[in-house]
């Protein structure tokens, strides 16, 4: 079956602009995670959804970052007033029921802020 998909695969924007990154999880997966991976680093947790609600958003770096999952499937990560330091690969992962901790990752969106 289809895995986790993310669009766009690459996004180049200018400092100060607004961007949206989309994640389509595996069908039926109730949990969805967003991570940010900077060059030479491991994935850094941003936010976790269980269904439609954000169960843990403690990793969001500041109020410029926001994520939604209105229908409990597709999620959008939104970044306002982008800064050069936001440049990274943004990863999405989904997980099945509450009895499994295995996450399935998407290919990522590479965001470059000029």
The answer to whether 1 contacts other proteins (rule: CB under 8 A) is no
Distance CA 77, CA 57 (A): 12
Q: b vs e for 34-57, b when ≥16 Cβ sit within 10 Å of the residue's Cβ?
A: bbbeeeeeebeebbbbeeeebeee
Please report how close the Cβ of residue 72 comes to other proteins at its closest, in angstroms.
Answer: 15
> Does residue 2 touch other proteins according to CB under 8 A?
no
* From 13, 20, 44, 76, residue interacting with other proteins (rule: CB under 8 A): 44
Contact 91, 37 (CB under 8 A): yes
47 CA to centre of own chain: 8
Lookup: tokens for 79: 């970044």
**Is 100 a residue that touches other proteins (CB under 8 A)?**
yes
Q: Measured between alpha carbons, how far is 90 from 70 in angstroms, rounded to an integer? A: 20
User: By CB under 8 A, is residue 55 in contact with other proteins?
Assistant: yes
Query: Residue 22, interface with other proteins (CB under 8 A)?
Result: no
Q: Which is nearer to other proteins, 45 or 66 (CB)?
A: 45
Contacts with other proteins by CB under 8 A lie at 3-4, 31, 33, 35, 40-45, 48, 50, 55-56, 58-59, 91, 93, 98-108
């Amino acid at each position: 079956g289809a895995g986790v998909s993310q669009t766009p695969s690459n996004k180049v924007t200018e400092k100060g602009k607004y961007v949206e990154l989309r994640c389509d999880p595996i069908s039926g997966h109730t949990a969805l995670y967003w991570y940010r991976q900077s060059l030479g680093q491991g994935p850094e947790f941003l936010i976790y959804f269980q269904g439609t609600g954000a169960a843990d958003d403690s990793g969001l770096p500041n109020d410029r970052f926001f994520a939604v999952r209105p229908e409990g499937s597709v999620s959008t990560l939104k970044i306002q007033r982008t800064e050069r330091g936001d440049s990274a690969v943004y990863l999405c992962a989904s997980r099945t029921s509450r009895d499994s901790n295995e996450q399935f990752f998407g290919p990522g969106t590479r965001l470059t802020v000029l």
